[in-house]
């Protein structure tokens, strides 16, 4: 297929924007890219899709996502973290079945595709959710998934007994670590290499030092990347301090810091932590919506970027964001850091639109060890891209294509998504998927989970319902 007459934001090494551009896709690769008139002359016999008045960007990379939690969207709003986790989220997740896990994965993948995400990193998929079902959902929807199987052996948060996990979520070394290795053997490289299997380690305090070290050793031996929440809330910082560590000195002590590790949230950092991240080329995921909604704090993204740390973006789960929409996440990331903070004066030039789009595309691909195949639109790379339809009153006029995408466009403006060379979204609908069936099944199962968890009457909000 030859896609023509679009404005193409390539995010290539020169950061070129091609006006009246075209992309030739053959198989799952970008065969050629350039001016439309030139490609039309070179390939006169190719089937053509006219994308006049559209902007094409690389497929968005959601570098932190909890697919299971999409069934819990809106079930724990306006709560602080302890109540959010211990009284709502863990209780409901501890009552999941594999069928619930599959339904959650399906609605998550469909929502991400419809909002322009072509690749995501699942952070911590528990054994009880049914890892095979998660992989099946990735296969069926056509998205690209890096899937973190949970690794843990301690049933509390930050070693605090009052933050005990629901018994249904507790796993041991054999189920979690060795189970992740087994899933890597079974699924890594499946679905035409759209599936990669990761270690999804629980937060420090939920994993013993010995298990972290064992996981880190296996990670290097078998090339299994690691993702982990870290330094998200003040309690995390207190936990590290109780051990005589800063967040990154602890992670270094258990061999976690490396280019194949992606650490999430990273709100409560010292300057020494930022230096350690830069030195070890460890990746960081910024989740602005989640951090703001749970009042976790503000990640020092400008300082991390200035130090040379690879920083990308993630939505986190639906109970602490309420959407899986990376378009919305880009806009908030670009705006959130400009006001005065404890680290800098008010500065409207911080995190410009270009930087944020890099974070959501190429930086995400780099964190996921996939920048050699996705993250930018170049000859020879995988054909993963998103088409934004600019033919709407809310989007016109526009002058900078990058600013239009980051500050103005929304998920509803995504018209087409191509992943691995296939049109997986066409005219705003996911191809080959009955979306009504997907959301109805998710709705049914979500209500059943609330009932099994004994939370009926507690998740419906504060105002009386007649």
Q: What is the pLDDT of residues 176-224, one digit of tens each?
A: 999 999 999 999 999 999 999 999 999 999 999 999 999 999 999 999 9
Beta-strand relationship, 414-419 and 195-201: unpaired
Asked if residue 141 and residue 39 are part of one domain, the reply reads no
Contact between residue 328 and residue 289 where contact means Cβ atoms under 8 Å apart: yes
Q: Domain holding 88: CATH number?
A: 3.20.20.140
- H/E segment holding residue 432: none
Asked if residue 267 and residue 155 are part of one domain, the reply reads yes
In a domain, 375, yes or no: no
Partners of 198 in the beta sheet?
A: 148
Asked if residue 192 and residue 269 are part of one domain, the reply reads yes
Other residues' Cβ atoms within 10 Å of the Cβ of residue 174: 9
Maximal CA-CA distance, the chain: 69
Residue at a domain's end among 344, 367, 390: 367
H helix runs in 243-352, sequence order = 247-253, 271-280, 288-293, 301-306, 326-336
Residue at a domain's end among 313, 332, 367: 367
- Calculate the CA dihedral of residues 121, 410, 68, 226 and round it to 10 degrees: 10
Asked if residue 398 and residue 316 are part of one domain, the reply reads no
Asked if residue 77 and residue 35 are part of one domain, the reply reads no
Closest CA to 390 of 375, 377, 401: 401
What is the C-alpha to C-alpha distance for residues 297 and 51, in angstroms, rounded to an integer?
41
Q: Domain holding 387: CATH number?
A: 2.30.40.10
In a domain, 109, yes or no: yes
Q: Which domain holds residue 40?
A: 2-58+382-430
Asked if residue 351 and residue 243 are part of one domain, the reply reads yes
User: What is the structure's pLDDT at 398?
Assistant: 98
In a domain, 284, yes or no: yes
In a domain, 435, yes or no: no
What is the C-alpha to C-alpha distance for residues 338 and 90, in angstroms, rounded to an integer?
34
H helix runs in 223-323, sequence order = 234-242, 247-253, 271-280, 288-293, 301-306
308-326 confidence digits (pLDDT tens): 999 999 999 999 999 999 9
- Conformational region of residue 138, where left means phi above 0, alpha means psi within -120 to 50, and beta covers everything else: alpha
For the chain, the domain total comes to 2
Asked if residue 131 and residue 14 are part of one domain, the reply reads no
State in Å, rounded, how far the first CA of the chain is from the last one. 54
Asked if residue 145 and residue 191 are part of one domain, the reply reads yes
Beta-strand relationship, 54-58 and 2-9: parallel
In a domain, 457, yes or no: no
Asked if residue 346 and residue 393 are part of one domain, the reply reads no
Secondary structure tally for the chain: helices H, strands E: 19, 19
Asked if residue 275 and residue 178 are part of one domain, the reply reads yes
Residues of the chain with pLDDT under 70: 159
In a domain, 454, yes or no: no
Inter-CA distances, 11 with 17, 95, 211, 306, 463, Å: 8, 43, 39, 19, 47
In a domain, 348, yes or no: yes
Asked if residue 104 and residue 80 are part of one domain, the reply reads yes
What is the C-alpha to C-alpha distance for residues 74 and 240, in angstroms, rounded to an integer?
31
Query: What's the alpha-carbon Rg for the chain, to the nearest Å?
Result: 21
In a domain, 448, yes or no: no
- H/E segment holding residue 440: helix 435-452
User: What is the structure's pLDDT at 81?
Assistant: 78
Asked if residue 69 and residue 29 are part of one domain, the reply reads no
């Amino acid at each position: 297929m030859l896609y023509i007459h679009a404005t193409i934001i390539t995010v290539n090494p020169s950061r070129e924007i091609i006006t009246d551009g075209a992309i030739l896709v053959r198989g799952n690769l970008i065969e050629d890219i350039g001016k439309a008139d030139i490609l039309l002359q070179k390939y006169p016999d190719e089937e053509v899709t006219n994308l006049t008045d559209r902007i094409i960007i690389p497929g968005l990379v959601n570098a932190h996502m909890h697919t299971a939690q999409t069934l819990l969207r809106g079930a724990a709003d306006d709560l602080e973290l302890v109540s959010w986790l211990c009284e709502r989220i863990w209780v409901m997740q501890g009552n999941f079945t594999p069928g619930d896990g599959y339904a959650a994965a399906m609605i998550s993948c469909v929502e991400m595709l419809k909002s322009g995400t072509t690749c995501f990193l699942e952070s911590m998929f528990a054994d009880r959710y049914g890892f095979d079902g998660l992989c099946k959902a990735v296969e069926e929807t056509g998205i690209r998934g890096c899937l973190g199987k949970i690794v843990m052996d301690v049933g509390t948060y930050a070693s605090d007994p009052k933050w005990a996990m629901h018994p249904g979520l507790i796993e041991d070394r054999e189920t979690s670590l060795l189970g992740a290795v087994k899933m890597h053997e079974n699924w890594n490289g499946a679905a035409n290499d759209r599936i990669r299997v990761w270690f999804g380690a629980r937060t420090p305090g939920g994993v013993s030092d010995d298990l972290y070290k064992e996981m880190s050793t296996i990670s290097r031996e078998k090339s299994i990347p690691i993702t982990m929440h870290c330094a998200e809330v003040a309690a995390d910082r207190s936990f590290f301090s109780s051990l005589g560590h800063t967040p990154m000195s602890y992670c270094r002590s258990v061999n976690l810091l490396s280019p194949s590790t992606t650490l999430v949230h990273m709100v409560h950092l010292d300057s020494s932590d930022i230096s350690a991240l830069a030195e070890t080329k460890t990746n960081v995921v910024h989740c602005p919506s989640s951090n703001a909604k749970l009042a976790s704090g503000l990640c020092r993204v400008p300082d991390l970027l200035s130090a040379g740390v690879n920083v990308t973006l993630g939505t986190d789960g639906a109970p602490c964001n309420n959407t899986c929409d990376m378009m919305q996440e880009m806009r908030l990331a670009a705006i959130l850091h400009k006001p005065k903070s404890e680290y800098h004066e008010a500065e409207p030039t911080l995190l410009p639109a270009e930087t944020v789009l890099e974070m959501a595309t190429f930086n995400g691909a780099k964190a996921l060890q996939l920048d050699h195949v996705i993250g930018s639109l170049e000859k020879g790379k995988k054909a993963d891209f998103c088409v934004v339809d600019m033919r709407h009153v809310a989007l016109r006029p526009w002058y900078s294509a990058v600013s239009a995408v980051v500050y103005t466009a929304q998920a509803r403006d995504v018209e087409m998504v191509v992943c691995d060379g296939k049109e997986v979204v066409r005219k705003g609908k996911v191809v080959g998927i009955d979306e009504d069936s997907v959301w109805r099944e998710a709705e049914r199962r979500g209500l059943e989970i609330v009932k099994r968890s004994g939370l009926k009457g507690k998740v419906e909000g504060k105002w009386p319902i007649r």
